[in-house]
Amino acid sequence: MASLAEKRIVLGITGGIAAYKSAELVRRLIDQGAVVQVVMTEAAKAFIAPLTLQALSGRPVRDSLLDPSAESGMGHIEIARWADQIIVAPASADFIARLEAGMASDLLTTVCLATSAPIALAPAMNQGMWNKPVTQRNIDRLAADGVELLGPASGAQACGDVGPGRMLEPGQIMDHLTSSGGVRVLDGTKVTITAGPTWEPLDPVRALSNHSSGKMGYAVATAAAAAGATVTLVSGPTALTPPAGIQYRPVQSAEEMLAAVEKGIEDCDVFIGVAAVADYRPAQTAASKIKKDAESVMLELIRNPDILARVAQSPKRPFTVGFAAETDQAIANARNKLKRKGLDLIAVNQVNETNNPFGSEENHLVLISKTDEIDLGRHSKSALAEHLILEIAHRYHEQHSA
């Protein structure tokens, strides 16, 4: 993990009940050796007292844009130049909207506009506000500008609603901070990833398959390799070029994919099943092309092996992550799959008119464990893969250090 010793961090705090978590975040940053400057909005002060944060950080809290005592009224430039990293936690819907619009209406937005330091946001808001299209547009535009998104998590909210919008816990934010900047969070681990569709042959020229392009799985393989893992990519038929620096095993059918996975599973630390494996295959494959002679043809299908379940139940079981594409009741069905197959994590996306990931450069994923769920949002598949690998690394290391 990356050291935060002597790193100069501006912690922005906006208005919201999650501001109480910011005190714990300040303490953890100081414990890691960081130098923390807290910048609060006026709304934030209604939820937590500046004196508390001053006592924890050891530095006066800054909250005024027009402060004559701060470098002759140019304090925002001073802070913007001083910062090595800016993190806003919690980041309210209002703050996110103002930042995306390029407004400089208070000290925190002005510092963010003036700085060249990386900016990370930990959103916190009601699930309805988070799900609003305008909020999602604001988030996507900020991400396109290089702003890092941390969370939000999903669960019970102070207003009584349940859904995405909870600020990540301070420990999770710390994991992201210490894992950023190209740090190899999976250094020394062996990761096997499946990707793409499988083809189940009907005859020498036809097959049963699906719409998977393999883009998500290849992005995950790229992110895992960048994180320091030794990666084996078992891929069904795609038009993609395998990422550099990995072991590539091309396959066609589900049975071939299972054989390739089982070949190295005993020496695997983390398994990520991204492939869209066909549930069924033809009971018989014709030796020659099936001619269009009859008005109708009956096909007998038999069930394919469950690769994900077999990995999760193997004697030397790796940390096992699955994927699920659902058209109805996505979260409930994914939770059932997580439990039924004995997975550690599952990433689920709803396939509908507003989110059809097949062949797309973007996706919307929710990451689910036995105890929580995190809405990773809708972003490019490469950005989602990087976020996913950080979450997997955090939970893998946590499990193995217990």
User: What pLDDT is attached to residue 74?
Assistant: 46
Residue 173, H or E segment: helix 170-179
Q: Are residues 241 and 371 in the same domain?
A: yes
Q: Are residues 259 and 150 in the same domain?
A: no
Q: Are residues 124 and 254 in the same domain?
A: no
Residue 34 domain flag: yes
Residue 41 domain flag: yes
Between the alpha carbon of residue 399 and those of residues 178, 189, 239, 402, the distances in Å are: 18, 14, 36, 5
Q: Are residues 375 and 284 in the same domain?
A: yes
Q: Are residues 308 and 202 in the same domain?
A: yes
Q: Which residues contact 113 (CB under 8 A, 6 or more apart)?
A: 99, 102, 104
Asked whether 369 and 155 are in contact (CB, 8 A), the reply is: no
Residue 287 lies in domain: 190-401
Q: Is 343 exposed, middle or buried (0-12, 13-18, 19+ CB in 10 A)?
A: buried
Q: Whole-angstrom Cα distance, residue 187 to residue 240?
A: 26
Q: Are residues 33 and 69 in the same domain?
A: yes
Q: Whole-angstrom Cα distance, residue 398 to residue 375?
A: 20
Q: Are residues 309 and 348 in the same domain?
A: yes
User: What pLDDT is attached to residue 26?
Assistant: 94
Q: What is the CATH number of the domain that holds 49?
A: 3.40.50.1950
Q: Whole-angstrom Cα distance, residue 224 to residue 222?
A: 6
Of residues 76, 62, 143, the one with CA closest to residue 112: 76
User: What pLDDT is attached to residue 258?
Assistant: 96
Q: What is the CATH number of the domain that holds 302?
A: 3.40.50.10300
Residue 184 domain flag: no
What is the count of structural domains for the chain?
A: 2
Residue with tokens 């910062």: 83
Residue 374 domain flag: yes
Last residue of a domain, one of 121, 155, 179: 179
Q: Whole-angstrom Cα distance, residue 153 to residue 150?
A: 9
Residue 307 domain flag: yes
Phi, psi (degrees; rounded to nearest 5) at 41: -85, 165
Residue 3 domain flag: no
Torsion sign across C-alpha atoms 60, 64, 70, 76: positive
Spell out the per-residue pLDDT of the chain, length 402, in tens. 456 777 889 999 999 899 999 999 999 999 888 899 999 999 999 999 999 999 999 999 998 876 655 554 445 688 888 888 899 999 999 999 999 999 888 999 999 998 888 888 999 998 888 888 998 888 888 887 888 888 787 677 677 777 778 888 888 888 777 655 445 678 889 999 999 999 998 888 888 888 788 999 999 998 898 888 899 999 999 988 888 778 899 999 999 999 999 988 888 999 999 999 998 999 888 888 888 888 888 889 999 999 999 999 998 899 999 998 887 888 999 999 999 999 999 999 877 666 666 657 788 899 999 988 888 888 888 888 988 998 899 899 888 876
User: What pLDDT is attached to residue 182?
Assistant: 45
Q: Are residues 27 and 175 in the same domain?
A: yes
Q: Which residues contact 86 (CB under 8 A, 6 or more apart)?
A: 9, 10, 12, 111, 112, 115, 117, 118, 119, 120
Last residue of a domain, one of 127, 153, 179: 179
Q: Are residues 258 and 286 in the same domain?
A: yes
Residue 159 among the catalytic residues:
yes
Residue with tokens 């020659």: 288
Cis omega before residue 204 (within 30°)? no
Q: Are residues 44 and 109 in the same domain?
A: yes
User: What pLDDT is attached to residue 69?
Assistant: 57
Residue 218 domain flag: yes
Strand partners of residue 322: 273, 346
- In a 3-state reduction of DSSP, which class is residue 85? strand
Q: Whole-angstrom Cα distance, residue 381 to residue 220?
A: 8
Q: Which residues contact 162 (CB under 8 A, 6 or more apart)?
A: 127, 154, 155, 156
Last residue of a domain, one of 179, 198, 221: 179
Q: Count CB atoms within 10 A of the CB of residue 11.
A: 24
Distance linking the first and last C-alpha atoms of the chain: 18
Of the residues 74, 159, 162, 332, only one is catalytic, namely 159
Q: Are residues 123 and 209 in the same domain?
A: no
Pairing of strands 319-326, 270-273: parallel
Residue 88 domain flag: yes
Q: Are residues 224 and 275 in the same domain?
A: yes
